[in-house]
Amino acid sequence: MTSQWSAPTAHGPVHATVPVPGSKSITNRALVLSALADGPSALHAPLRSRDTALMAAALVALGAGIEDGPDGSWLVTPRALRGPAAVDCGLAGTVMRFLPPAAALAVGEIVFDGDEHARVRPMGTILNALRALGADVDGEALPFTLHGKGGLPGGEVTIDASASSQFVSGLLLSAARYESGVTVLHDGKPVPSLPHIEMTVSMLREAGVVVDDAEPNAWRVEPGPVAAREWHVEPDLSNATPFLAAAAVTGGEVTIPGWPATTTQPGGAVRGIFGRFGCEVTLDERGLTVRGPGRLTGVDLDLRDESELTPTVVALAALAEGRTRIRGVAHIRGHETDRIAALAAEVNRLGGAAEETEDGLVITPRPLHGGTWRAYADHRMATAGAIVGLVVPGVGVDDIASTTKTIPDFPGMWATMLGTTAHGTR
């Protein structure tokens, strides 16, 4: 799958029911909490993708036991964490930002590294915070080395988390195991993707950890045990959005079964977003169903809390009638790639009109033509290209394999939805 993938063009409205794998965000948080728990835990319906495989492998390298259970579950047995160990972060923000605070509980030297682009992703915030809490770390970005002392004093730390909510979540997930717990104070521009922090807090409380988040921009985790438990992983709602988008751009109907009535996943916001574009959105016992209109309408959206949905929204906007403005996503320049620049470049490459702004994009629809849509080794860029290709013949995505980061077999799922082969041919 290293050659260019021909994005299939839909020859009519798409009608399908598409089950999607489990949430990456929930799976990787549950893996960390299970490795720090006071007994064995189980993850039911976890996502098995590159990002979660990297997290599991990293925890095993640090000493945890992770085995396959029945029905695709993961059984996690916590053990004393230790080095020496080498952690491959790949391009996974959750691994590079959630694991160092846990590794600080180990004894020994732990070396962190990752993919080439991972080495330019912001890491100084989490590493400096760990130093302030008593850790010994060499380096400011990947690769770096953590000299584990078997624990940390903990305490209060002030950070600027405006580049990523993962800095807060990473510190909170391991905080109960520090001698004094941890209080994280944010000082800076608003924290993006706050629902991801709410997810972290909710899961900590499910594991019996005491968390005080009553004050804005402040989170206090009390020291204490992390309870072993059974984790039931929801479908990944952000990964569901490209399939729902297939209904939106073709005037069809797609249902995602198992959609939760309530969720802390940012992807839950797609219900309102698709509605703004003119779609009919229904949540019932079958799941979440999106029915596409005759033509999508442009929108003005602040996606600060749901920034991971930006590539899908841009794909919809490029195929809509009327201008779309996306705000509040300046921080996605530091994601797997500079997503603002990448999205503008690829829409414009196919004949569209996308303009970068300080905190987002403005898309003015124009007739698009075929050509190569570059993925920049970014899974969400790749799926955005697939959406455009449903309507625009001749679109090729240069790196569809990047989708394995969070979706084990995106081409196969896309083909099943459309009734085509995985190579995009009928």
On whether 380 is known to bind a ligand per the annotation, the reply is yes
Q: Is 3 annotated as a binding residue?
A: no
Asked if residue 189 belongs to a known ligand binding site, the reply is: no
Q: Is 275 annotated as belonging to a binding site?
A: no
- Residue 206 marked in a binding site: no
183 pairs with which residues across the strands? 156, 220
Encode 194-244 in three state secondary structure: HHHHHHHHHHHHHCCCCEECCCCCEEEECCCCCCCCEEECCECHHHHHHHH
Is 402 annotated as a binding-site member?
A: no
Indicate the length of the chain as a whole number.
Answer: 426
The reply to whether 149 sits in an annotated binding site is no
Nearest C-alpha neighbor of 236 from the set 94, 37, 56: 94
- 180, 154 contact by CB (below 8 A): yes
Q: CA dist 19 to 231, 240, 387, Å? A: 19, 8, 18
115: tokens are: 């993919």
Helix pair 310-318, 339-349: axis angle to 10 deg: 20
Catalytic residue among 306, 308, 336, 346: 308
- 253 bridge partner residues: 15, 291
Q: Please tell me whether 150 is known to bind a ligand.
A: no
Is residue 119 annotated as involved in ligand binding?
A: no
Considering only CA atoms, give the Rg of the chain. Answer: 21
DSSP string computed for 284-348? ETTEEEEE--SS-B--EEE-GGGGGGHHHHHHHHHTSBS-EEEES-GGGGGSSS-HHHHHHHHHH
d(CA 219, CA 98): 16
DSSP string, 150-206: S----EEEEE--TT-THHHHHHHHHHTTSTT-EEEEE-SSPPS-HHHHHHHHHHHHH
Quick check: 45 and 22 in contact, CB under 8 A?
Answer: yes
162 annotated as belonging to a binding site for a ligand? no
140 catalytic residue (yes or no): no
Backbone angles phi, psi at 170, to 5 degrees: -60, -40
Q: Is 165 annotated as a binding residue?
A: yes
Is 335 annotated for ligand binding?
yes
Annotated binding site for 3-phosphoshikimate: 24-25, 29, 164-166, 193, 308, 335
Annotated binding site: 24-25, 29, 93, 121, 164-166, 193, 308, 335, 339, 380, 405
Catalytic residues, which ones?
Answer: 308
